[in-house]
Structure 1
Amino acid sequence: MNRPVFQSPGLIFSLLVYLSASITHAQPFAKADIARWQQRAKQVTITRDTWGVPHIYGKTDADVVFGLLFTQCEDDFDRVEMNYLDAIGRLAEVEGESALYHDLRARLFMDTTQAVALYKKSPVWMKSLLDAFADGTNYYLHTHPTVKPRLLTRFRPWMPLMFSEGSIGGNISVIPTGRLQDFYEQRKTSMMQKNDNTDIYERESVGSNGFAIAPAKSATKNALLLINPHTSFYFRSEVQMVSQQGLNAYGAVTWGQFFVYQGFNEHCGWMHTSSYADSMDEYLETIEKKNGALFYRHGGQIKPVPSQKVKLPYKTDSGIQYKEFTMYWTQHGPVVGEKNGKWIAIAMMNTPLNALEQSYLRTKATNYASFKDVMKLNGNASNNTVYADADGTIAYWHGNFMPKRNPRFDWNQPIDGSNPETDWKGLHTADEIVQVKNPASGWIQNCNSTPFTVSGTSSPNKSIYPAYMAPDAENYRGINAARVLSQKSVFTLDTLIAAANDPHLAAFDDLIPSLLKAWQTVSGESVNQANDLQEAIQVLTNWKREYGTQSVGMTLGIVWGETIQKLARSRVQPGQPLDNLSFTAFTISSTSPQEKVTALADALANLTRDFGTWKTPWGNINRYQRLTGKIQETFDDQKPSIPVGFTSSNWGSLAAFGARTHPNTKKRYGYVGNSFVAVVEFGKRIKARSVVTGGQSSQPGTKHFTDQAPLYCEGKFKDVLFYPEDIQQHIERTYHPGE
């Protein structure tokens, strides 16, 4: 049975001493290491094209990984380092005490002793990649002595084994750090007892869109794929990795990881969308104390609670201080909170070696069969996959790591951990999870929504799957995507781009009619600004509910929508989770006609206050700006920015651009949404186009800091240079690492 691993007292040793000796106080690199790196660098060639995209060539896959990490550090070392500070639980050492529970959460699931052990038992091919990861990063630091890391002065090959949560593994980020703090500081108030579920309606929707078009609906009779991840801006870089061992992958790579996460090779392409497939569970553990020792009940037994003390360092004005914790586990996983006197243990995928192997091996898949064979590793817990290939196959899988469970329990709720019937019963195979292959409709879409509408009438049959496999709800992006893909009979790369940028905002198909109806029942004379309100109502009546930089109707719709939703949020009851569509329905039903009209009056007043007139086009408010390249960007209304027409995916915008005001700004600046976006045609020869949020480099003033921003903001794409003969015509620089 594949279960989350947990630490035991037998694994205790001085983590702090180990880390201090191995990283913080690293000695200068050894001459033997430098000589080895220099020799490998000669075997790696990096060609930067005219967009700054690195095309990395090497004899072996490990050579290419070495070059990849070198180029990542060239483009944005800060994000490479930050991702590992986050993953290995050392954020508090640079950010202070506020990050302690972030670090504790990471240590509960994995520590360096486990990562080192996994590294030692890794297969030879994986160990070579892990070594190359560390060597490429360290060689960058050696050849760039003016670069000053915040903490990590030497990278170790086991580190990627601690960076396998979220996008490629389990997802520990869903565990609230406040709840951890409540438990481990023995505070009486638990976040589980608070009405914090309404926070989800204030967060910007992230996730992704993936489309696949079958040959039957393709003008060239080749399969097409849309890759459109929605992430925080600058979260991934664009690369090509080519070796003589069969690697030729192009796409998006997360800073510090060594594989193309979303992309394609000569044979096939893969797009991941965030999944709500139920791959983790919370167990309510019955705890007993006997003779000063802790036990938990499981069936007729009481079992000792494994524990471990750890001292976590954190930065203060007077230097590094330490806080000691006693961490706890049960057989279900680490203890992360308490509810009604019972401890909460969480079970999730914790098999980082499988996650890394699957993530890398899929980039070398040659067809549907080999891609599916890699999925048998069950190393992907948080993603759905949209797939297309040169044979004309299109496919979709909803999740991948899927525990088998007793279906008589409600797996949406915390489960009684004392009942053995609630234990996981192994894993479902890749054949058993929700999926579709070559649907008769000729198209597939997933926008972080239900899998039961992915292909119109050809979608999977919900009744044949356990409920826990796909509790995902529909959302407005999914509705819009299905509409767009079903209405067109033939697609090209150009029309697939147009579909990805379809401007319709489906949420307002429900929201605006409710406002217009409210206006009819509320006398305009009873509300201040009656004349302005009448004019605004007319603007909204005429608005096609489409985004655009020149649209005043869009400005009114969004600002009014935000105002009325804020009122509705305050009325959501504890334990009343609402998805995208149901929250809109709740907003409409829970607010009166008078409140809807008053919200419009408030919207007009706020727009007039901030911009001089409520008749302000959306592009004057919604802007793209990149000034510093720092992880925490700053914004300034007085400095240049670019208008953006598309908007938050919460409204059903397929092209996502989450924007908000920032300190001292009236305009809204984007921070999350479309990142690396690509369309691919598979055939005898790959044809592809792509665009990234701003540019390849994080360094202000350099050519590739924002050179793609104008394309990005207008929904346009550049040609992908995939073949050597095409790259040769667009070379900016060719070099070996360290030159």
Structure 2
Amino acid sequence: YDKKKLPVIEKKINIKYLEGNSLKTKSFNTYFTNKGPIMAIRDGKWISLKSKNRNTASLIQSWVRTKAKSFEEYQKAMDLKANASNNTVYADDKGNIAYWHGNFIPVRDTKYNWSDVVDGSTSATAWKGLHNVKDMVHLYNPINGWLQNCNSTPFSVSGKHSPTKANYPSYMAPDGENFRGVAANKLLDKPVKYDLDKVIAMGYDTYLPAFEVLIPALLKAYAQLPQSDPLLAELKAPIDILKAWDYRSGESSIAAAIAFEWAPRLNPIIQKVYIDPGEKDQIENTSAFVASARPNELLDPLKATLADLSKRFGKWEVTWGEINRFQRLTGAITERYDDNLTSIPVGFGSALWGQLPSYRSNQFKTNKRYGFSGNSFVCAVEFGPRIKAKSILAGGNSGDPKSKHFNDQAEMYAKGQFKDVLFYKEDVVKNAEKTYQPGN
């Protein structure tokens, strides 16, 4: 380290685990440098990891921010700089809104690419303390009155009133724009007087901005086919459907079904949402792809999509709701899915294509697709003298398949219909199905 020899610490760690009914022990020989534990070997070199994963301040921050009664108290909680993983959005009953892009951010040398492994043998790559909150990417009370957080760049968090990228080191916010962020900005930029139901309706807008880029390119490729090409007749019907499409998803939409099945067959670069500093983001990659794609790069995947749908369903004219299903059978983290058992149609799609009510689905040795990621707990809150809130869960509150609350929210979830949140004690008592006294 800095041309000096430092010891590598060797430590034996014993891990106990259950095998059947027997408690067994396995020993691991582990190694630590001054940076942290050796976690991997790449290109013959050991990689040690410096990580913030054991810290009392994190626990304290989680507690005090929950107890904060004002924007000032919440800011004091953020000043602990202990949140190593999340972006934070804040709102209160005084009308304050705020956004922080991260919280525990070490000061680093900008000459290095911090999205990759760096040379650990020099102090040049050592963390140089932490950034102060005032120096992090953040925004308080923008004049347009709104914030959005779609796991995309913070430099569009509030439209044209967002922080300026050039004012921050690249490692602080390498995130690129994605189509969900585009959708949110487009909606929020329209002047609307919101109430709770309008907020929910906006969050469940089904517009898909990615296809506003992809479909015109497909139509152009089709229009360039020579009159002698058999694809001209073969693809005419689906092309006509896509030409008339409004780029919205829905249970009854054949166009959405074709688009959702077709797009993943295109160049995988358009699906890349996590980028390194200096790389093109999803919007730029998609625009570059359609600008340079040869007609067959768009048309051949469409032909393959139609063949696949016909194989799975006996025809390609299938609605999105027939394909895209919600099914909860066991409550296990890794759920199992079965085409022969009851499922519910869902009209939403993946956030990858800009869907705000995100519902990512896939085949699991099945013909139909089943949701496994996306919106799971969704809540809309109106702050004031008395809190009003509505929420929905993916399936139900219980993890027990025998409980009536295992799937009692499934239909509502699939439709984007919310229930009232029972926040106050009198509401909870009034609606209680069963009460008990702790200790009895």
TM-score bracket, shorter-length normalisation: over 0.9
TM-fit CA distance, 1:412:
2.9
RMSD: 2.4
Instruction: Identify if the C-alpha distance between structure 1 residues 328 and 597 changes in structure 2 by more than 3 Å, giving closer, same or farther.
Output: same
**Residue of structure 2 in register with 1:607 after alignment:** 309
- Please point out which of 541, 546, 549 is paired with 2:243: 541
Q: Which amino acid aligns with 1:437?
A: Y
Equivalent position amino acid for 1:655 in 2:
P
Does the CA-based 8 Å contact 1:659-1:670 persist in structure 2? Answer: yes
The one-letter code of the counterpart of 1:595 is E
How many angstroms apart in 2 are the aligned matches of 1:712 and 1:689? 12
Structure 1: gaps (5+ residues): 1-297, 570-574
Aligned to 2:349: 647
Out of 638, 654, 657, the residue aligned to residue 340 of structure 2 is 638
Name the residue aligned to 2:358: 656
Q: Within 1, Cα distance between the matches of 2:3 and 2:183?
A: 52
Residue type matched to 2:254 in 1?
Answer: V
Q: 1:615 to 1:321 in 2, by over 3 A?
A: same
Q: Does residue 1:375 correspond to 2:59, yes or no?
A: no
Out of 397, 402, 407, which is 1:701 matched to?
402
Structure 2 residue aligned with 1:439: 142
Q: Is the 8 A contact 1:527 1:598 kept in 2?
A: no
Cα distance change on mapping 1:626 and 1:412 into 2, 3 Å: closer
Per the alignment, in what secondary structure is the counterpart of residue 235 of structure 2? helix
Structure 1 letter corresponding to 2:163: P
Q: Which runs of 5+ in 2 are unaligned?
A: 272-276
Q: Secondary structure of 1:431's match?
A: helix
SS in 2 for 1:401: coil
Closer/same/farther in 2, CA of residues 313 and 733 from structure 1, 3 Å limit: closer
1:511 maps to which residue?
214
User: Is 2:37–2:49's contact at 8 Å kept on the other side of the alignment?
Assistant: yes
SS of 1:594's partner is helix
- Are 2:196 and 1:490 equivalent residues in the alignment? no
Q: CA deviation at 1:656?
A: 0.8
CA distance in 1, matches of 2:146, 2:404: 39
Residue type of the alignment partner of 2:139: V
Residue 177 of structure 2 corresponds to residue 474 of structure 1: yes
Q: CA deviation at 1:480?
A: 0.5
**Does the 8 A contact of 1:336 with 1:345 survive in 2?**
yes
Cα distance, 1:337 vs structure 2:
2.1
* 1:579 to partner: Cα distance: 4.4
Shift of 1:418: 1.9
> Structure 2 vs 1, CA of residues 636 and 683 (structure 1 numbering), >3 Å: closer, same or farther?
same
Instruction: State the shift of 1:455 in Å.
Output: 0.7
**Structure 1, residues 420-468: CA drift from partner, whole Å, max 9, x if none?**
1221111112222110000011110110011111111211122222221
Number of residue pairs matched by the alignment = 435
Q: Indicate the residue corresponding to 2:274 in structure 1.
A: none
AA matched with 2:159: G
1:558 aligns with 2:260: yes
Paired with 2:362 and 2:323, the residues of 1 have a C-alpha distance of 10
* Alignment match of 1:399 (pick from 85, 88, 102): 102
Q: Larger deviation: 322-331 or 495-504?
A: 322-331
CA change 1:360–1:526 in 2 (3 A) is: same
**1:335-382: CA deviation from partner (whole Å, max 9, x where unpaired):** 222334432222221333222221122111101111111112222111
Shift of 1:718: 0.5
Distance 1:377 1:488 in 2: 36
In structure 1, give the amino acid aligned to 2:352. N
Aligned to 2:35: 332
Offset, 1:568:
8.2
The answer on 1:725 being equivalent to 2:423 is no
In 1, the alpha carbon distance for the partners of 2:237 and 2:139 equals: 49
What residue is the counterpart of 1:449 in the other structure?
A: 152
- Larger RCO, structures 1/2 (Cα 8 Å, 6+ apart): 1
Cα deviation, 1:557-615, whole Å, max 9, x if unaligned, reads 1111122246989xxxxx99764334434643564212311211111111111112111
Q: Which residue of 2 aligns with 1:584?
A: 286
Q: Decide which moves more: 416-425 or 405-414.
A: 405-414
Match of 1:683? 384
Contact 1:449 1:473 survives alignment (8 Å): yes
* CA gap 1:534/1:318 in 2 versus in 1, 3 angstroms: same
What residue identity is the alignment partner of 1:694? G
- Which deviates more from structure 2 when the two are superposed, residues 416-425 or residues 337-346? 337-346
Residues 191-218 of structure 1 deviation map (CA, whole Å, 9 limit, x = unaligned): xxxxxxxxxxxxxxxxxxxxxxxxxxxx
More strand by share: 1
The one-letter code sitting in structure 1 at the alignment partner of 2:260 is I
Amino acid at match of 1:628: T
Code of the residue aligned with 1:703 in structure 2: it is: K
Alignment of 1:670 with 2:377, yes or no, is no
Q: Relative to 1, partners in 2 of residues 1:508 and 1:415: Cα closer, same or farther, differing over 3 Å?
A: same
- The reply on whether 1:348 has 2:51 as its aligned counterpart is yes
Q: Is the 8 A contact 1:351 1:379 kept in 2?
A: no
Cα 1:578/1:345, change in 2 over 3 Å: farther
* Structure-2 separation of matches of 1:320 and 1:731: 41
Q: Please give the TM-score of this superposition, normalised by the length of structure 2.
A: 0.92
Q: CA deviation at 1:617?
A: 0.6
| Cα offset, 1:527, TM superposition | 3.8
CA deviations over 1:221-258 (Å, ceiling 9, x no partner)? xxxxxxxxxxxxxxxxxxxxxxxxxxxxxxxxxxxxxx
Matched, 1:366 2:66: no
Pair 577,323 (structure 1): closer, same or farther in 2 beyond 3 Å: farther
SS of equivalent residue, structure 1 residue 444: coil
CA distance in 2, matches of 1:715, 1:703: 20
Match of 2:87 in 1: 384
Distance 1:491 1:540 in 2: 33
SS in 2 for 1:416: coil
The one-letter code matched in structure 1 to 2:241 is: V
SS of residue in 2 equivalent to 1:526: coil
For the 8 Å contact 1:314–1:320, the answer to whether it is kept is yes
Q: Which residue of 2 aligns with 1:521?
A: 224
Alignment of 1:86-165 (within 5 A): none
Q: TM-score, normalised by structure 1?
A: 0.56
Change (3 A) 1:318 1:387: closer
Distance of 2:124 and 2:268 partners within structure 1: 42
Percent identity, please: 44
SS, match of residue 514 in structure 1: helix
Could you tell me which residue of structure 2 aligns to residue 410 of structure 1? 113
Establish whether residue 734 from structure 1 lines up as the match of residue 435 from structure 2.
yes
Structure 2: how far apart are the matches of 1:345 and 1:635? Answer: 40
